């Protein structure tokens, strides 16, 4: 490692929740960091939209750039920190400008990486610059470094996690307080956990961006966020949470990437996890990631997935690495060696299923459903008729029936349910929640 003693001059674009927290943390930790690294880290310029905005930090002493791209290309900085956000626009232009000028980049921007990560990593590699993004997945949890470096000696079988605090908060509140999805979403918005337009979080898209990054780090495949099967938590009801509890499960929105016979599978959906599992214990806005790997067996990291200070912690760790002269391939291996093989299609997913049907109280209904399952060799672990309360089926006079299947293929379940719907015994679209094995 080359020993450098001059200060590392950093330029920060974006002074919102995360940018302001990075400046505060660097201020607070500057002496300790310099001691650890053997080199001072100095913020030398900043950029945001509104120079006059009160941010709770003193930036008046720093040179201000109206244009983040100009800051990224400036000779006054050695490292560019992008904290603007968004998959394109100014964030992309500025990151490209910094890398093109040979500067290393630190970013927390999962949307940008999910869309342009391969191209940006190739550019960083070509220029001999670092592209670091610890904060882009699970905030303060050092999951990127764990996968990229800490587990380099392992073959990873599966990585899965609670990657969106808003969704976990809503599901936790629903389960613990017996509140509806809509009530919990309103509460999350009032507390500032959910955006005014929460689609990105509750629809599973934010989790998918993070999963795309984890998949590449874990399996050495090229990022392909478009290949991820995505379902959000909007259709999870109190009836599902109650049934899950009685059956020994909890429902979590998981991002899962797994090595399967059909290839690497990537999926985001509400998931039944065994109540005894480490991931099931994670409640509220907290994030968690579990890794199944051959040498370590199972590893779970739990911690704050968002918030200024926790996210800044990850950003400062990246800055410290770059200050020390560490240059790791952004995704753990050279871009040219990342495999571009297609991901496994969701129809080939194999696992157990929870199915909740609103069944009209008519003779022959239960037998017809059982027949449709048997026709496709779907084995049922249990079939339970439940109370009507909270299932949404009061108005139709239908009765909730919950089926738990043994492992079968997604396409087989879908075909069986199409046949059940066509038989006309059920009042609403079947609820299907995948069960994740421990
Ligand atoms: N918040 C979290 O907990 C968290 C956690 C993990 C990762 N992240 C990621 O961190 C990044 C920043 O998030 P944040 O929550 O800090 O966002 P934020 O509070 O909305 O801050 C965004 C900042 O970018 C600035 N900005 C917007 N457009 C700009 C432009 N064209 N040129 C220069 N600056 C511009 C804004 O300027 P003004 O202040 O002048 O309007 C603001 O300071 C995002 O990629 C996000 O996904 C956030």
Contact between 424 and 384 (Cβ < 8 Å): no
**Ligand 1 midpoint to CA 125 (Å):** 26
What are the start-end ranges of the H helices in 161-292? 165-177, 181-190, 199-202, 205-219, 238-247
**Ligand 1 midpoint to CA 106 (Å):** 14
Judge residue 184's burial from the number of C-beta atoms within 10 Å of its C-beta, 0-12 exposed, 13-18 middle, 19 or more buried: buried
Q: 307: Cβ below 6 Å to ligand 1?
A: yes
Give the gyration radius of the chain's Cα atoms.
Answer: 24
Q: 14: Cβ below 6 Å to ligand 1?
A: yes
* Residue with CA closest to ligand 1 atom 15: 17
Sign of torsion over alpha carbons 305, 307, 310, 312: positive
Q: Which two tokens stand for residue 225?
A: 């966020």
Q: 68: Cβ below 6 Å to ligand 1?
A: yes
> Would you state the torsion angle of the CA atoms of residues 372, 373, 375, 377, taken in this order, to the nearest 10 degrees?
170
DSSP string for 44-84? EEEE-S-TT---SS--TTS-EES-HHHHHH-TT-SEEEE-S
Q: 112: Cβ below 6 Å to ligand 1?
A: no
Contact between 2 and 327 (Cβ < 8 Å): no
Sign of torsion over alpha carbons 72, 78, 83, 88: positive
Cα angle 405, 410, 414 (rounded to 5 degrees) comes to 90
Q: 313: Cβ below 6 Å to ligand 1?
A: no
End-to-end CA distance of the chain, in Å?
A: 41
Active site residues: 210
**CA distances from residue 416 to 27, 59, 355, 405 in whole angstroms, order as listed:** 60, 62, 11, 12
Tell me the best of 14, 106, 120 to mutate to test the pocket of ligand 1, counting ligand atoms within 8 Å of each CB and taking the most: 14
- Residue 306 CA: nearest ligand 1 atom is 3
The span from the CA of 47 to the CA of 53, in Å, is 12
| Contacts of 318 by beta carbon, 8 Å cutoff, 6+ apart | 106, 132, 133, 134, 135
**Ligand 1 midpoint to CA 85 (Å):** 5
Give me the domains of the chain, ranges plus CATH numbers: 8-140+313-334 (3.40.50.720), 143-304 (3.30.360.10), 349-435 (3.30.70.260)
Q: 19: Cβ below 6 Å to ligand 1?
A: yes
Judge residue 52's burial from the number of C-beta atoms within 10 Å of its C-beta, 0-12 exposed, 13-18 middle, 19 or more buried: exposed
pLDDT at 390: 52
The span from the CA of 108 to the CA of 133, in Å, is 6
Q: 166: Cβ below 6 Å to ligand 1?
A: no
**Ligand 1 midpoint to CA 55 (Å):** 12
pLDDT values of the chain reduced to their tens digit, one per residue, 438 residues: 555 679 999 999 999 999 999 999 999 999 999 999 999 999 999 999 999 999 999 999 999 999 999 999 999 999 999 999 999 999 999 999 999 999 999 999 999 999 999 999 999 999 999 999 999 999 999 999 999 999 999 999 999 999 999 999 999 999 999 999 999 999 999 998 888 789 999 999 999 999 999 999 999 999 999 999 999 999 999 999 999 999 999 999 999 999 999 999 999 999 999 999 999 999 999 999 999 999 999 999 999 999 999 999 999 999 999 999 999 999 999 999 998 878 999 999 999 999 999 999 888 898 999 999 999 999 999 998 877 665 555 566 899 999 999 999 999 999 999 999 999 999 999 999 999 988
Cα angle 19, 23, 27 (rounded to 5 degrees) comes to 165
| Contacts of 226 by beta carbon, 8 Å cutoff, 6+ apart | none
* Residue with CA closest to ligand 1 atom 21: 16
Q: 85: Cβ below 6 Å to ligand 1?
A: yes
> Would you state the torsion angle of the CA atoms of residues 353, 356, 361, 363, taken in this order, to the nearest 10 degrees?
-10
**Ligand 1 midpoint to CA 81 (Å):** 11
Tell me the best of 13, 48, 80 to mutate to test the pocket of ligand 1, counting ligand atoms within 8 Å of each CB and taking the most: 48
Contact between 147 and 252 (Cβ < 8 Å): no
**Ligand 1 midpoint to CA 20 (Å):** 10
**Ligand 1 midpoint to CA 79 (Å):** 18
| Contacts of 227 by beta carbon, 8 Å cutoff, 6+ apart | 266, 342, 343
Q: 404: Cβ below 6 Å to ligand 1?
A: no
Contact between 307 and 313 (Cβ < 8 Å): no
């Amino acid at each position: 490692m080359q020993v450098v003693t001059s200060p590392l001059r950093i330029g920060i674009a974006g002074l919102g929740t995360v940018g302001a927290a990075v400046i505060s943390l660097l201020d607070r930790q500057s002496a300790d960091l310099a001691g650890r690294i053997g080199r001072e880290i100095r913020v030398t310029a900043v950029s945001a939209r509104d120079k006059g905005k009160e941010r709770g930090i003193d930036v008046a002493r720093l040179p201000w750039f109206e244009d983040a791209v100009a800051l990224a290309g400036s000779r006054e900085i050695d490292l560019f920190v992008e904290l603007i956000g968004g998959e394109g626009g100014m964030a992309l232009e500025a990151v490209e400008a910094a890398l093109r000028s040979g500067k290393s980049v630190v970013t927390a921007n999962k949307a940008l990486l999910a869309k342009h990560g391969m191209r940006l990593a190739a550019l960083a590699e070509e220029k001999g610059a670092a592209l670091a993004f610890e904060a882009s997945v699970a905030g303060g949890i050092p999951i990127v470094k764990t996968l990229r470096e800490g587990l380099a000696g392992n073959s990873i079988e599966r990585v899965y996690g609670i990657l969106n605090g808003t969704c976990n908060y809503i599901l936790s509140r629903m389960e613990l307080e017996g509140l509806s999805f809509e009530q919990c979403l309103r509460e999350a918005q009032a507390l500032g956990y959910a955006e005014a337009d929460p689609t990105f979080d509750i629809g599973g898209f934010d989790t998918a961006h993070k999963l795309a990054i984890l998949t590449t780090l874990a399996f050495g495949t090229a990022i392909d966020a478009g290949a991820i099967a995505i379902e959000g938590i909007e259709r999870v009801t109190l009836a599902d949470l109650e049934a899950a509890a009685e059956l020994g499960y909890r429902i979590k929105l998981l991002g899962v990437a797994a090595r399967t016979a059909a290839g690497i599978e990537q999926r985001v959906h509400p998931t039944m996890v065994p109540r005894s599992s480490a991931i099931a214990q994670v409640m509220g806005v907290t994030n968690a990631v579990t890794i199944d790997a051959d040498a370590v067996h199972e590893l779970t990291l739990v911690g704050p997935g968002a918030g200024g200070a926790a996210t800044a912690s990850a950003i400062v760790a990246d800055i410290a690495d770059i200050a020390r002269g560490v240059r790791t391939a952004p995704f753990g291996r050279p871009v040219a060696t990342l495999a571009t093989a297609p991901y496994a299609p969701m129809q080939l997913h194999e696992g157990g299923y929870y199915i909740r049907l609103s069944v009209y109280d008519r003779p022959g209904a239960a037998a017809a459903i059982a027949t449709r399952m048997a026709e496709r060799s779907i084995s049922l672990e249990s079939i339970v008729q439940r109370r009507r309360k909270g299932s949404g089926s009061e108005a139709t006079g239908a009765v909730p029936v919950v089926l738990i299947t043994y492992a079968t293929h997604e396409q087989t379940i879908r075909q069986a349910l199409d046949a059940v719907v066509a038989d006309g015994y059920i009042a609403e679209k079947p609820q299907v929640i995948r069960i994740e094995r421990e």
